Amino acid sequence: MAGDVHQEALTAAVTRVLARVGGRRDETPEAPGGSALDMVSSCFGLTPFERDVLVLTAGVEVDPGCAEVCRTAGGRPYPTFSLALATLAGPHWSALAPVSPLRRWHLVELEPDSPVTTARLRIDERILHLLAGVPYLDVRLHGLVTPLPAAPALPGTQHAVATALAGAWTTGTGRATLAGADGQTRREVAAAAAGEAGVRAYAARAADLPTDAVEREALARLWDREAILLPGALLVEVDDAGPERREVAAAFCRSLAAPVALSAAEVTADDRVGERIAVATPRPDEQRELWAAALDGVVPVGDGDLSRLVAQFTLPGHVIRAAASDARRRAASGAPAGYDLAWQAGLDHARMALDDLGRRITPRAGWDDLVLPAPQRAVLNEIVAHVRRRSTVHDDWGFEDVLRRGLGVTALFAGGSGTGKTLAAEVLAHDLGLDLFVIDLSQVVNKYIGETEKNLRRVFDAAERGGAVLLFDEADALFGKRSEVKDSHDRYANIEVSYLLMRMEAYRGLAILTSNMKKSMDSAFLRRLRFVVDFPFPDAPERAEIWRRVIPARAPAEGLDPERLAQLTVSGGSIRNIALSAAFLAADEGATLQMRHVLAATRTEYLKLERSVTSAEVAGWR
């Protein structure tokens, strides 16, 4: 119905009511039904008397003669309850009560500090404009609630969740808790549920809700009224809120009469509002459909490529669509279209969740940079095969259905400092085309009981999206704590280790621990790791090979003898430090890199290691 029709209906109603107030016969014809006035009366259950009171307060705003009519009939140039009770049909005292629809929903306001019956009545501005055919979101809610866009097509499992939420809103308690997945996915589910329920979805942040109980109650009533008028449903998001704000948000949700859902990745008994509805990540087959639909032939990929994308990335629908959009944009700008473009786009979007949880290393080292004995290199190649072919073995060959658990690729790299553990992890990540995230366990481990598990959960939950290679450096910080159980702290330390290994086993990517305390580890824990790689201290031939590879071909070197340099009994990490320091010494002199520069750099490195250069190590040096 057009706005002028609503205005005509309101004008006709005002004319009739003023006629009654003035004691005149009402000869104004009834307006056709379906006006905004009819909608407001129906939504809030107004009696005919309450409807006429509302119309009378609107008359002051739309009819210049209303004030004089009120003055003549009641002695005051404005509407009052006393005037309404004396002149309008079907009067009842309950219309004056604070719990009546007129006052509970703030359709009309009483002039403060005045007697109820003689206080001036004013119509709420939002209601006045609505009656005149100009609907809008109440300006007092601007900045507090945000309309959600229409939901995209959801995968089957998430569509079922949306249907369950719509049921809770329409036939259940009207309240629910959406838990799991990420915030944007929960928004899409809420928008889809609102569509099924025939309402509009809005979102509010817990941080924006008032902490004062009186203000919070006033906001709840304001939103309830707005939800009735729109109609609408509210999603209250608490992911970034602290415990106090979460309590405020839960209390706010419980006070609402309108459909509401509390949105959180994790919920506790205190946070929970109504029915708990879990939102899961799309199944692999659903992710495959999402990738195929999002790429839509613009970035051509085959069935095998789609399988590898799904095996590597566990992404929510909105991230898949964003990654595919990036891939299409790059293809349109001239980049070679195909699987590699989709893979890189997926990698870019997956890494966002991990960037603030660890140190990302862009892998550049290849197999030629790694000097290791043949048995260790063979194990590393086997690790690559397990990661690269897991889709074939787990899905196509059915091993996931048989084994069910322990399918993650887990490894322990054990060895002294500088023996190549981190370099080996970088080589694996480079070969697999993945990011390497180094997680310092000494920063993750927390002295407070239960905090370590929370930190580890954040790491693995973020990493699940892209299957990055996770390198848990300094694992001794955790494994070194495992001991005989003498008190509760020992017991919780052992729980932390078990939790880490459990998450590693469930992780879809490659998770690597580094340690130089392998002998102190429980054999039961070692059995739960799929691979254990010992990084030995390099012998003389291996050290000579490291020296050959660590000096760049274009570096101006003179007289460097890798065999004599290999007499230094240091690890590969120390060799790299010495070579770099020697290069700086030579560059500062403006000379070529020579053995004497290496000797000077060696003495500096040995001071750091609290060692002295022996005559045997530098025998034959010039």
Please compute the mean of the pLDDT values over residues 455-461 and round it to a whole number: 80
What single-letter DSSP state applies at residue 536? P
In a domain, 222, yes or no: yes
For the packed helices 374-388 and 421-432, what is the interaxial angle rounded to 10 degrees? 40
> Residue 488: is it exposed, middle or buried by C-beta count within 10 angstroms (0-12/13-18/19+)?
exposed
Domain match, 256 and 291 both: no
Cα 396 from Cα 265, distance rounded (Å)? 32
In a domain, 343, yes or no: no
> Residue 484: is it exposed, middle or buried by C-beta count within 10 angstroms (0-12/13-18/19+)?
exposed
Q: How far apart are the first and last CA of the chain?
A: 99
CATH of residue 443's domain is 3.40.50.300
In a domain, 362, yes or no: no
270-311 residue pLDDT tens: 778 888 999 988 888 898 888 888 877 666 666 777 777 777
CATH of residue 206's domain is 3.40.50
Domains: count for the chain: 5
Question: 270 φ, ψ to 5°?
Answer: -70, -30
Residue 497, classed as helix, strand or coil, is helix
**Spatial contact of 216 and 255, defined as CB atoms under 8 Å apart:** yes
- Is residue 1 predicted with pLDDT exceeding 60? no
Those residues whose C-beta lies under 8 Å from the C-beta of residue 466, and which sit 6 or more positions away, are 312, 313, 314, 315, 346, 347, 349, 350, 351, 353, 354, 434, 435, 509
15-30 residue pLDDT tens: 999 999 988 766 555 6
Domain match, 379 and 505 both: yes
The larger pLDDT score, comparing residue 194 to residue 409, is at 194
**Spatial contact of 70 and 77, defined as CB atoms under 8 Å apart:** yes
Question: 142 φ, ψ to 5°?
Answer: -65, 135
- In sequence order, what DSSP letters do the residues of 15-67 get, joined into one string? HHHHHHHTT----PPPPPS--HHHHHHHHTT--HHHHHHHHHHHHHHH-TTHH
388-445 residue pLDDT tens: 888 788 777 887 777 766 677 889 999 988 899 999 999 999 998 888 888 877 667 7
| Domain termination site, one of 106, 131, 156 | 131
Cα 476 from Cα 479, distance rounded (Å)? 5
Please compute the mean of the pLDDT values over residues 487-500 and round it to a whole number: 60
Please compute the mean of the pLDDT values over residues 323-352 and round it to a whole number: 72
In a domain, 36, yes or no: yes
In a domain, 357, yes or no: no
- Is residue 207 predicted with pLDDT exceeding 70? yes
Domain match, 33 and 49 both: yes
**C-alpha gyration radius of the chain:** 36
In a domain, 423, yes or no: yes
Q: Which of 43, 34, 40, 33 is nearest to 57 (CA)?
A: 40
In a domain, 138, yes or no: no
Cα 266 from Cα 255, distance rounded (Å)? 21
Please compute the mean of the pLDDT values over residues 606-622 and round it to a whole number: 87
Please compute the mean of the pLDDT values over residues 559-567 and round it to a whole number: 92
Domain match, 382 and 517 both: yes
Cα 445 from Cα 469, distance rounded (Å)? 20
**Spatial contact of 290 and 284, defined as CB atoms under 8 Å apart:** no
Those residues whose C-beta lies under 8 Å from the C-beta of residue 566, and which sit 6 or more positions away, are 540, 541, 543, 544, 547
Cα 163 from Cα 157, distance rounded (Å)? 10
| Domain termination site, one of 509, 535, 561 | 535
- The domain of 509 spans 367-535
Domain match, 274 and 214 both: yes
Domain match, 227 and 259 both: yes
Domain match, 508 and 583 both: no
pLDDT of residue 215: 94
pLDDT of residue 482: 47
Amino acid sitting at position 357? L
Those residues whose C-beta lies under 8 Å from the C-beta of residue 160, and which sit 6 or more positions away, are none
Domain match, 416 and 455 both: yes
| Beta strands in 208-274, from DSSP E residues, in sequence order | 232-237, 260-264
Domain match, 506 and 597 both: no
Q: What is the pTM of this model?
A: 0.77
In a domain, 359, yes or no: no
- Give CA angle at 179 (176, 185), nearest 5°: 105
Cα 121 from Cα 81, distance rounded (Å)? 8
- Is residue 196 predicted with pLDDT exceeding 90? yes
| Domain termination site, one of 535, 560, 579 | 535
Domain match, 268 and 186 both: yes
Greatest alpha-carbon span in the chain: 125
CATH of residue 581's domain is 1.10.8.60
% of residues, the chain, pLDDT over 70 = 89
32-80 residue pLDDT tens: 668 999 999 999 999 999 999 999 999 999 999 999 999 999 999 999 9
Which stretches of 373-485 are DSSP H helices?
374-388, 390, 399-403, 421-432, 441-444, 451-463, 476-479
* Number of other residues whose CB lies within 10 A of the CB of residue 19: 15
Q: How far is CA 396 from CA 225, 287, 302, 411, 505, in A?
A: 54, 16, 16, 24, 20
Cα 262 from Cα 281, distance rounded (Å)? 19
Residue 534, classed as helix, strand or coil, is strand
Domain match, 194 and 110 both: no
Domain match, 191 and 251 both: yes
